[in-house]
């Protein structure tokens, strides 16, 4: 456990394939903008701004990138496509570095913290339960014992789906009857994990946003109950966002970061969209590190987010 897994050829291929639509969309447009141009002028910057915004980088982050590029090309006599690509790559990499201080190890948890408790939040339909199942698989693969808690007690489908994932991965799932108090499920899950000396606990929660006050109160209650069983729990509040929803993902991030202390992000379904820029914008605007990215349906298609490899794939290098 805790051994760093180097970025394999297979993982790189999965990442390249997952970001292909975004890369093609952004850079095919970028090359057209620069046709016949001998310098990066105001028109080029305006076009680049539009490209980034339509790739769901977000307005604020896009303006930040454009401002940085403008300063860098101000003194250059000629900046062609390759030079502009290099500058854009540098600035995106710099933004991701500012938020994601350092890359995390491959599906590991800190030594000396047992159980390590992850509370997963996010609206229904973003791939939250699937992400939990894939996380459980990856942690178990790395030698950790894992317990799942089905605290989304308002949807029978959510509990059933988590149980199926538990059986598929081979990890226990703690559940109660429909409509039970989610905090009670969390209490039972952590108590079971402590009794069984488990390494990792992952708690699923309801994904309702129709009442932000109710959501905030519910999540706070779950957190308080967990803290009574395991002091300091949860260690991680992981917000799962669907990258293909673009600006809706920004709004969900806004709602959940207001409702609870989110300290990690998982952005899913990047393989099916040209909106991969959402990773850059959300990371920058909410100052919350992206920890995982989803690049397909397979068990291995949930990856730990690595800044350098992400930028390399985005720019085709």
Q: What is the pLDDT of residues 296-316, one digit of tens each?
A: 888 888 999 988 888 888 877
pLDDT bucket at 3, cuts 50 / 70 / 90: very low
Asked if residue 105 has pLDDT above 60, the reply is yes
Residue 102 has pLDDT above 70, yes or no: no
Q: How far is Cα 66 from Cα 309, in angstroms, rounded to an integer? A: 23
Q: How far apart are CA 179 and CA 201, in angstroms?
A: 22
Bigger pLDDT: 118 vs 110: 118
Burial (CB count <10 Å: 0-12, 13-18, 19+), residue 124: middle
Q: Are 126 and 108 in contact (CB under 8 A)?
A: no
> Among 13-27, 46-60, 253-267, which stretch is predicted with the lowest mean pLDDT?
13-27
**Closest Cα partner for 282 from 264, 297, 294?**
264
Farthest CA pair distance, the chain: 69
On the 0-12 / 13-18 / 19+ scale of CB atoms within 10 A, 153 is: buried
User: Would you state the structure tokens that stand for residue 32, as one six-digit string?
Assistant: 């057209």
Residue 171 confidence (pLDDT) above 80: yes
| Nearest residue to 250 via CA among 259, 238, 242 | 242
In angstroms, the CA 52 to CA 60 distance is 11
> What pLDDT score was predicted for residue 79?
66
23-61 per-residue burial string, b: 16 or more CB within 10 A, e: under 16: bebbbebbeebbeebeebeeebbebbbebbbbbbbbeeb
Q: What is the pLDDT of residue 4?
A: 43
CA 90 from centre of chain = 22
Query: At 216, is the pLDDT very low, low, confident or very high (cuts 50, 70, 90)?
Result: confident
| 221 pLDDT tier (thresholds 50, 70, 90) | very high
Answer whether residue 67 shows pLDDT above 70: yes
pLDDT in tens, 157-170: 889 999 999 999 99
Cα–Cα distance for residue pair 21/19, rounded to 1 Å: 6
Q: What is the mean pLDDT of the chain?
A: 87
Interior CA angle at 92 toward 88 and 11, to 5°?
110
Contact between residue 297 and residue 165 where contact means Cβ atoms under 8 Å apart: no
Q: Quick one: pLDDT at residue 192? A: 97
pLDDT for res 213: 72
pTM for this predicted structure: 0.91
Percent of the chain surpassing pLDDT 70: 90
* CB-based contact 274:54 (threshold 8 Å): no
Residue 212's pLDDT is what? 66
């Amino acid at each position: 456990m805790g051994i760093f897994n180097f970025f394999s050829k297979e993982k790189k291929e999965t990442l390249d394939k997952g970001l292909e639509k975004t890369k093609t969309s952004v850079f095919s447009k970028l090359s057209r903008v620069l046709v016949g141009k001998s310098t990066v002028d105001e028109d080029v910057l305006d076009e680049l701004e539009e490209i980034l915004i339509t790739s769901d980088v977000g307005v604020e982050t896009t303006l930040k990138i454009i401002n940085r590029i403008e300063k860098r090309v101000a003194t250059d006599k000629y900046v062609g496509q390759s030079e502009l690509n290099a500058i854009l790559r540098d600035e995106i990499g710099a933004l991701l570095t500012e938020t994601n201080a350092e890359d995390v190890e491959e599906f590991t948890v800190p030594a000396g913290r047992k159980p390590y408790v992850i509370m997963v939040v996010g609206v229904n339909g973003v791939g939250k339960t699937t992400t939990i199942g894939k996380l459980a698989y990856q942690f178990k693969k790395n030698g950790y014992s894992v317990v799942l808690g089905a605290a989304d007690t308002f949807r029978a489908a959510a509990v059933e789906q988590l149980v199926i994932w538990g059986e598929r991965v081979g990890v226990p799932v703690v559940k109660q009857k429909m409509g039970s108090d989610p905090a009670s499920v969390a209490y039972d899950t952590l108590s079971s994990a402590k009794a069984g000396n488990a390494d990792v606990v992952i708690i699923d929660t309801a994904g309702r946003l129709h009442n932000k006050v109710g959501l905030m109160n519910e999540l706070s209650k779950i957190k308080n109950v967990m803290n009574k069983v395991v002091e300091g729990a949860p260690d991680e509040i992981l917000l799962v966002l669907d990258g293909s929803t673009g600006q809706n993902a920004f709004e969900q991030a806004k709602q959940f970061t207001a409702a609870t202390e989110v300290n990690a992000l998982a952005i899913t379904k990047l393989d099916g969209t040209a909106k991969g820029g959402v990773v850059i914008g959300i990371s920058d605007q909410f100052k919350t590190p992206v920890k995982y990215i989803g690049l397909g349906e397979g068990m291995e298609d949930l990856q730990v987010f690595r800044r350098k490899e992400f930028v390399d794939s985005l720019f085709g290098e």
